[in-house]
Structure 1
């Protein structure tokens, strides 16, 4: 079957290459139109319990997609005329930015910021900045009154810094821009936040601090543009390395050209399908490029071997296609399934990532396994190349002679024993890894990034920051004047406020207690929930529905829980606290639902990734097992290919735990890619191993011969790719640096497992379970 396909393809070379050229030109036209694309909705795990709650209440409760702007006085406090004039301008500027839900804009200047004052007549409610005060009549008396109102309204630590050196403006963002009726352009909004607010109002007197999803994704996009620089550096290093290996610039160019061609096809297809590149997934196409280089080196290795054996370019290219099409296809199909399983995670961004990666890997089958050998058939090789290749080959054989000794029985037993111990340790250590972020601030950025500096400033100056978990309490009608229900929620608020990781809890019962004391001359003895229904009505009355603590019918009484940070451990602990309370204190008339707020979204994402990871990995391994068994019809092959891969995976998890790299959207595809590349190495080695076994060699000699033929290509590919991606560790984006470290580790680890543990298992299995029948090479459609 493969021979027939070979004759068809090589018999129509001009026609096929012409078709490839047309496809490349067509895709290149669309590839240059591809743009980065981000959206808050893409972060949401559809179908998750928390997200269903969030979607149901998103028009009534806010806090999931906010932008927070803090104007800070460099010297002194904010109680001066010039600060309030600038603060008003910042508020107005944010009000008119695209995508801002103007109902939610909140600052000391907005009419939804009101305070309650205890007077002889009872409680008086008024705007913090009275309507009679404007920027044109900001007198010292007016400033003093505003300061008193801020203190009365308990806005210190909320809208005003606890030390009165800064003031905050907060607004919620809409996914659809009401002005354009199109999806909000987060990159444009981030640029406007930088230009129209920070650029305009930060000077020698004031600093501006901006946090929120829109600003974060904009900063990530700005940093992601540097990926081109690192790709160029990695490309140059790869080109030099491939040339040192191939001893031919034409073969080097061929391998890189075919991988770049598939990248152009990939970008073009993505744009045609209506996709963009998410900043958090921008490295994925370049990871797929690395896969292409890996397979290209295997092709170069076999072409060089054939040429040094006396074959011409046509014969060498045909041999490369014939011998590597099956193992290469198997490896790429496994990669394809690995990335494809990511689509099972119901998070829009991860599903787009899965589509992006799957398209790229699928195209590799054409560009690297078909286009490359066809193009190579046009190359000619002179005697000087043969001499250089022979010298390089002799050197590689000397190196691989030492590696081949790992398949000697005594050494194999030792390696296997050490591998078992290492696997046990790696498995135990991997249990400590976390799903989600492990550092405060935005872990996608460096600690000294401006966004993280702004985040720390807000946390230090304000009691309530960006990290909000809203727990929805569904109650009977008029529950806000039912003492039994209100007392239940008060105890719930107290329980959560004492939970580790919780900065503050705001709820209707806590507000009603303060109001009750106000109606009783501020006497702290009355800071409790009145049992009398009419007194409770009086206590609840001053709390407006705009506070988000109740609705008109009092059927929804949320708890607003502000957390210290958004670390995975903090979120997990707070969510566990809510669930513990819900299970230990059930009520038929109160339905406690998780969750809204940005912390609720993060919790849903973390839980979805954690839930989906194991089934996804099982699907990948099931595919590998099926492909290996169908190809080699030998249970030994399945064990030899999968066990080293499993060990490498758990070593990767251990590595993540030690470097405090959480399993999340950015790192999950790296682990899937690692599985795919690990299989690539195993397939290429075992493919030649089985061939030599079928020729009558024993397992030790078969492995040694396999290493002479393909082992050095595996080692070289791993080292080359590791050197290339290691440059990412210098990226201004922390998540790119983490991916670079993790990929470097996984490239090398999978290679080491393939050349040590794989032969050790094969040798020991043959010792324990001797083969009773001669080995046969695959036949039929799998023949190669």
Structure 2
């Protein structure tokens, strides 16, 4: 066994200089190091040029959302809905505006109807509205049909003869009742009516994607003007959710600035060197600028979900940059020139940093397997950011520090604690062979290298993992809460959703089953009978409030044409009578060619359990009743899209995690060539993933488009901490040092920075909890938890696993001369610091 003094006197990198051997061979090191540091000025010039060009490109970036990007385009449900999109305008991307009359009035008031007409015309002209399908009490497509003594009659709900007189108002009331609009377009208490606004995917004037933020702002301006008249508007729909999120997420810039400032202050508090702190923050920000500048060139933009990626890139950059800065500062404190210190730090940490960033990039790239464009673009955006970090934080930062150096006082201060630790270290125990660092945090952490403490630590971690797994089994796919879970429960949008559900009695969550037939045969008796059976079956499913289809309408019309006799409330096997009924059906229940009739299923909520029950019922019914000509296809409507998205997320979630971990394991094995070392690096990440899912259950969060990427990102971010600690630990084990000695060196060289960056970044994202957007607040809490737990795993669980797994690795690692170690600090005389 090597004695502590022998270990302390050794240089960690073969041929590397120390304070006692100042000579440095500029031709040493691998060819990438020699190439980069021999052309430092050229590297800086290229990076500056890239920053200017990509910064200009980043100014073109716009924050928006796209309805089509939020859905799994190749899922069968979405394929069916897209195929019949032209016939299902009411079930696509649409807004519903409930117009509530002033207190004490109803919709059958001349002033209200006049205001409704003006408002309907104004909303009709909003950019992106599909005007041919707008529907309100005033539009000509809102009609009534009734059976009178003279036969079937019908017309517009608000006729051309309307003049605001009591007689006209009474006629409107009768027409509303005849059309069956109560609970659909007119509220049950008669105080509100709905204006339906289907939206186009693109602005017809500009050809650009519909600007949801601008649309939301226009709607809010209209809402404010109507409020002055005593009329309140309640607006729901995907476009309003995205508009509210974009408006709220602009506050992310404030949180981002606060996180940057907090990171800068905490790094400065650690280093007391403004120049090195500024360069670490600047290089991380340069990576963000490069990422944002490349997105427009790749044809991408920012949406409310990918807006978190720039911060994640900054966070990863701060982690790697702080490690490079710390290494250079320690070498300068030992008396080395800034250029030599930069090259040695590059030599020691480049491979660990590159492996960690490749793990990040592969982890992000795995998300490309999920067939949802918003997640795929997020994955590409994050991968671009990580690729930028390889240049800015692994190459640019050391080169910049080789020019600027660090503050001499800060360099001396960085080694004071380390030198004191070695000076105060006791002799090595003859019995245990354990190194004894000075009292304090290092002494506490060193205990985890002892076998007994290590076994207890691993046991506690295993218990937590099993308990977390048991809780994570309750993790649900999709939304958990009603309304828009991305927004807070008391947000204006969710209050509008609650009002719509309460006032109209018809749920805002609609799933449509598309029944296809040959042209002209949708009203055949056999088809309508099957549809009628499907409706009855669905109404027995928990969570289904009601159904609506041509079959039910035909029942009512046949009874109406038979003097209202309930004896005729049946689908009689008379094709002529059925054809007469279908001829008067509204367009939302039958298409023009009579080849499609949707079955509207109104749900109590869009929770995963409800959707699964409905989907399973329809699929079972379709398997029993599909024929060569008649098909029951899922699914349109907002709930249908949600069901398709849930199915895609459920299938991809575990595949994604397996893919991320497979990539991390492979890269770690390439770096360490030891399955035992791979376990030490990966098991803390697994524990964090399991406990993060348990935390999601506790927070009431489901796995969906918004949360799925964060689960994968946590693995990529967390592996950085473990790789930096493990690489230094293994390098010293290779030299024959004890685990306690090796771990202590890892703590002094990289562990301090792991502790610093983990706490700093967790504190930065924890500020998001105050965001008015629930999605951002939940992500901040989840990321803060993962930052902290990954840090604890690297500093506590990793050495405990190393005690149990790595004792026999010395012969294997001795054959790996490419694994460098941190230099042994030479005794220094710290400068007096005031």
Normalising by structure 1, we get a TM-score of 0.95
2:502 is the alignment partner of 1:502: no
Aligned counterparts of 1:361 and 1:26: Cα–Cα separation in 2: 19
Cα offset, 1:679, TM superposition: 0.9
Alignment of 1:48 with 2:75, yes or no, is yes
8 Å CA contact retained: 2:348, 2:820: no
Match of residue 727, structure 2, among 684, 687, 708: 687
Distance of 2:478 and 2:670 partners within structure 1: 38
Among candidates 195, 204, 207, match of residue 169 of structure 1: 195
Give the distance between the partners of 1:679 and 1:442, measured in 2 at CA: 33
Q: Structure 1 residues 563 and 407 mapped into 2: Cα distance closer, same or farther (>3 Å)?
A: same
Which of 186-195 and 46-55 deviates more?
A: 186-195
Say if 2:594 is the partner of 1:554.
yes
Distance 1:549 1:646 in 2: 50
The answer to whether residue 391 in structure 2 is matched with residue 366 in structure 1 is yes
Q: For the Cα contact (< 8 Å) 2:287–2:313, is it kept in 1? A: no
Q: Secondary structure at the match of 1:558?
A: strand
Shift of 1:5: 1.9
| Greater Cα offset, 561-570 or 213-222 | 561-570
Tell me, yes or no, if structure 1 residue 249 matches structure 2 residue 289: no
TM-aligned CA deviation for residue 616 of structure 1 = 2.1
Cα pair 1:340 1:354 within 8 Å, conserved: yes
Deviation at 1:92, TM superposition (A): 0.9
Distance in structure 2 (CA, Å) of the matches to 1:199 and 1:746: 42
Return 587-596 or 251-260, whichever deviates more: 587-596
Question: Residues 337-416 of structure 1 correspond to what in structure 2 (within 5 A)?
Answer: 337-381=362-406, 383-391=408-416, 393=418, 398-416=440-458
- Give 1:9's match in structure 2, choosing from 36, 53, 64: 36
C-alpha displacement at 1:320, in angstroms?
1.5
Q: Does 1:463 align with 2:490?
A: no
**CA 1:719 to 1:568, structure 2 compared with 1: closer, same or farther past 3 Å?**
same
User: Out of 186, 189, 200, which is 2:212 matched to?
Assistant: 186
How far apart, in 2, do the equivalents of 1:388 and 1:751 lie?
Answer: 24
Partner of 1:486: 528
- Equivalent residue, structure 2, for 1:203: 228
Give 3-state SS (helix, strand or coil) of 1:183's partner. coil
Alignment of 1:220-239 (within 5 A): 220-239=245-264
CA contact (8 A) 1:108 1:129 kept: yes
32-41 or 322-331, larger mean C-alpha shift: 32-41
What is the rounded CA distance, in whole Å, between the counterparts of 2:656 and 2:75 in structure 1?
17
| Cα distance, 1:781–1:298 mapped onto 2, change above 3 Å | closer
Instruction: Report Cα offsets for 1:163-183 as digits up to 9, x if no partner.
Output: 011111002111133344443
How far apart in 2 are the matches of 1:301 and 1:498?
66
1:758 matched residue in structure 2: 798
2: CA distance between counterparts of 1:243 and 1:383?
14
1:231-310 superposed matches below 5 A: 231-310=256-335
Count residues with an aligned counterpart.
776
Of 162, 166, 174, which aligns to 1:148? 174
Please say if residues 626 and 632 of structure 2, whose CA atoms lie closer than 8 Å, have aligned partners that are also in contact: no
> Relative to 1, partners in 2 of residues 1:382 and 1:193: Cα closer, same or farther, differing over 3 Å?
closer
Residue number among 165, 176, 193 corresponding to 1:139 in the alignment: 165
For residue 581 of structure 1, report the CA deviation from its aligned partner. 2.8
Contact kept, 8 Å, 1:401 with 1:708, in 2: the verdict is no
1:65 aligns with 2:93: yes
CA distance in 2, matches of 1:771, 1:450: 60
CA contact (8 A) 2:656 2:712 kept: no
Q: Partners of 1:755 and 1:101 in 2: how far apart?
A: 58
**Partner of 1:664 in structure 2?**
704
Residues 206-221 of structure 1: pairs in structure 2 closer than 5 A: 206-221=231-246
Distance 1:473 1:381 in 2: 72
The change in CA–CA distance for 1:254 and 1:777 in structure 2 (over 3 A counts) is farther
SS of corresponding position for 2:814 = coil
Contact 1:326/1:782, CA 8 A, preserved across alignment: no
Deviation of 1:156 (Å): 0.9
Which deviates the most, 449-458 or 361-370?
A: 449-458
**Residues 639 and 391 (structure 1 numbering): CA distance in 2 closer, same or farther, change over 3 Å?**
same
Pick the aligned partner of 1:523 from 542, 565, 579.
565
Residues 624-663 of structure 1 aligned to structure 2 (within 5 Å): 624-663=664-703
Residues 574, 613 of structure 1: CA spacing in aligned structure 2 closer, same or farther, 3 A cutoff?
A: same
Q: Which residue number in structure 2 is paired with residue 330 of structure 1?
A: 355
Secondary structure of the 2:122 match is: helix
In the TM superposition, residue 402 of structure 1 has moved relative to its aligned partner by 1.2
Asked whether the equivalents of residues 438 and 569 of structure 1 are also in contact (C-alpha less than 8 Å), the reply is no
How many angstroms does 1:583 deviate by?
A: 3.7
Could you tell me how far apart the structure 2 residues matched to 1:2 and 1:111 are? 80
- Equivalent residue in structure 1 for 2:649, among 590, 595, 609: 609
What is the distance in 1 between the residues matched to 2:809 and 2:325? 34
Q: How far is the alpha carbon of 1:477 from its aligned partner?
A: 5.1
SS in structure 1 of the partner of residue 30 of structure 2? helix
Gap runs ≥5 in structure 2: 1-27, 422-436, 823-834
Q: 813, 816, 820: which one pairs with 1:775?
A: 813
The structure-2 alpha-carbon separation of the partners of 1:607 and 1:35, relative to structure 1 and needing over 3 Å to count, comes to same
Stretch moving more, 317-326 or 579-588: 579-588
Residues 717-763 of structure 1 show CA distances to partners (whole Å, capped at 9, x for unaligned) of: 11110000000111111100011000001111111122222222222
Determine if contact 2:731/2:819 at 8 Å carries over to the other structure: no
2:492 is matched with which residue?
Answer: 450
Per-residue deviation, 1:783: 10
Deviation of the 1:34 alpha carbon: 1.6
User: Residue 727 of structure 1 aligns with which residue?
Assistant: 767
2: distance between equivalents of 1:533 and 1:774? 84
The CA deviation at 1:766 is: 4.0
Deviations 1:506-527 (A, max 9, x none): 1111111111110121122221
1:425 to 463, 467, 489: 467
Q: For 2:816 and 2:159, locate their aligned partners in 1 and report how far apart those are by CA, in whole Å.
A: 86
Distance in 1 between residues matched to 2:64 and 2:815, nearest whole Å: 48
**Partner residue of 1:89 out of 113, 118, 131:** 118
CA apart distance, 1:584: 5.1
Contact 2:549/2:598 (<8 A) preserved: yes
Does residue 141 of structure 2 align to residue 80 of structure 1?
A: no
Deviates more, 1:198-207 or 1:655-664: 198-207
* 2:166 is the counterpart of 1:128: no
What are the superposed Cα offsets for residues 129-161 of structure 1, whole Å, 9 maximum, x if unpaired?
A: 11221xxx2111111111121122211111111
8 Å CA contact retained: 2:512, 2:637: yes
Q: Is the 8 A contact 2:275 2:406 kept in 1?
A: no
Q: Which moved more, 1:148-157 or 1:707-716?
A: 707-716
| Structure 1 residues 49 and 211, CA gap change in structure 2 (3 angstroms) | same
Separation (CA, whole Å) in 2 of partners of 1:233 and 1:193: 31
Correspondence for 1:104? 133
Distance in 1 (CA, whole Å) between partners of 2:135 and 2:666 is 58
Deviates more, 1:206-215 or 1:311-320: 311-320
| Contact 1:330 1:627 survives alignment (8 Å) | yes
How many Å separate the matches in 2 of 1:382 and 1:555? 78
- Tell whether the 8 Å contact from 2:728 to 2:821 is kept in structure 1 after alignment: no
Whole-angstrom CA distance in 1 between matches of 2:130 and 2:546: 25
Q: Which moved more, 1:609-618 or 1:326-335?
A: 609-618
CA contact (8 A) 2:201 2:210 kept: yes
Q: In structure 2, do the counterparts of structure 1 residues 480 and 24 end up closer, same or farther at CA, with 3 Å as the change threshold?
A: closer
